[in-house]
Amino acid sequence: MVHLKVNGQAQSFDGDPEMPLLWYLRDILGLTGTKFGCGMALCGACTVLENGKAVRSCSTPMGKIEGADITTIEGISAHGSHPVQKAWESVNVPQCGYCQPGQIMQAISLLSSKPQPTDTDIDEQMSGNICRCGTYQRIRAAIHQAAKETA
């Protein structure tokens, strides 16, 4: 039995310990904001926070997250009031939007470790999150804007 918190709510899982966290979130808890992309932790669409750090949920087995505090895009702010969400909207980052939950979660993780990131910091930390629409310049601008708001 795996015990964890998801978006602040106590949960337990008693299935296959090799099941990816992504499928637990989407198929069992119904939290479909976290997206399936590549299934190999290469694209970042499935990024969630584990104890505040960005992880790829498609390659995180349930058996490895005992006691973890998992935050999904649904757990950030239901009303879009988180500084990163507000910056994303203000800069008009999304085009198709598919990768954006993972991008936002990665950005939140970045800002928690580097509250005032440089362009290089952003490029390095966000490089594992692919945006097929190519909104990288707007993503960078939104991260800088969110950093100013949280300063």
* DSSP-based three-state secondary structure for 4: strand
- Dist. CA 85–CA 7, nearest whole Å: 16
Number of folded domains in the chain? Answer: 2
Determine the structural domain holding residue 60 and report its residue range: 2-75
Read off the CATH number of the domain in which 99 is found.
Answer: 1.10.150.120
Please tell me whether residues 119 and 71 are part of one structural domain: no
- Among 54, 75, 96, the domain-final residue is 75
What mean pLDDT do residues 126-133 have?
A: 95
* Residue in the structure block whose two tokens are 């935050």: 71
Model pLDDT for residues 93-115, shown as the tens digit of each residue? 999 999 999 999 999 999 999 99
Nearest-CA neighbor of 110 among 128, 125, 131, 132?
Answer: 125
Q: Is the pLDDT of residue 45 over 90?
A: yes
Q: Is the pLDDT of residue 139 over 90?
A: yes
pTM of the predicted model as reported, rounded to 2 decimal places: 0.96
- Among 32, 51, 75, the domain-final residue is 75
- Among 18, 42, 75, the domain-final residue is 75
What mean pLDDT do residues 47-53 have?
A: 98
Read off the CATH number of the domain in which 49 is found.
Answer: 3.10.20.30
Residue type present at position 7: N
